[in-house]
Amino acid sequence: QVVFALNQTLLQQESLRAGSLQIPYTTEDLIKHYSCGDLSSIIFSHDTSQVPNFINATLPAHEYITAKE
């Protein structure tokens, strides 16, 4: 499970570097929310989590089971 999670995280980071995946907020957004004392709305919401969502439609069946675990 740890190796699977690491591989999925690395794939996400490679997509970010290649420009095929965009993060939903900028550094300026983080600074603004930090200054206002409201990081929970941007950092801790489910949609913008820094933890990759491992479950997606392109996973083979055995990897889908691992992702759910």
Q: Is 58 helix (H, G, I), strand (E, B) or coil?
A: coil
DSSP-derived letter for residue 25 is S
d(CA 57, CA 25): 25
Q: What is the pTM of this model?
A: 0.47
39-69 per-position pLDDT tens digit: 776 665 645 445 556 666 677 877 778 877 7
Average pLDDT, the chain: 75
Alpha helices (H) in 1-69, listed in sequence order: 2-18, 27-35, 61-68
63's CB contacts (< 8 A; 6+ apart) are 4
